[in-house]
Amino acid sequence: MNTDLIFKLSDAVSLGNLRYATELAKNELSKYMDVTDFGTLGVIGTLNKGADRTLMLDAHIDEVGFVVTSILKGGFVKVANAGGIDKRILPATPVIIHAKRQVSAVFASTPPHLGKNEPQEITDILLDTGICENLESIVSVGDFVSYDSKCVSLAGNRICGKSFDDRAAVACLIEVASRIYDKELPFNVVFCFTEQEELGLRGAKTASFHIDCDEAIAVDVSFGDAPDVPDSHLKKLGDGVMIGISPILNKDITKHLKKLCEKNNIPFNSEVMGGTTGTDADNITLAKSGIPTGLLSIPLRNMHTPCEIIDLSDYLNTCDLLESYILSGGAFND
Alpha-carbon span 306 to 81, nearest angstrom: 14
Looking at this protein, which amino acid is placed at residue 212?
A: D
- Which of these, 272, 267, 240, 243, lies nearest to 255 by C-alpha position? 243
Q: Name the nearest CA neighbour of 76 among 128, 136, 122, 135.
A: 128
| CA–CA separation, 227 and 5 (whole Å) | 29
The candidate with the shortest Cα–Cα distance to 41, out of 55, 25, 20, 22, is 22
Instruction: Tell me the C-alpha distance between 300 and 111, whole Å.
Output: 31
Q: Which residues contact 174 (CB under 8 A, 6 or more apart)?
A: 5, 25, 28, 29, 191
Are 238 and 311 within 8 A, CB to CB? Answer: yes
Query: What are the Cα distances from residue 118, in Å, to 125, 128, 147?
Result: 12, 20, 22
| Closest of 39, 80, 60 to residue 200, by C-alpha | 60
Backbone angles phi, psi at 328, to 5 degrees: -80, -15
- Residues assigned a catalytic role: 197
> Angle 247-256-166 (CA atoms, 0-180°, nearest 5)?
70
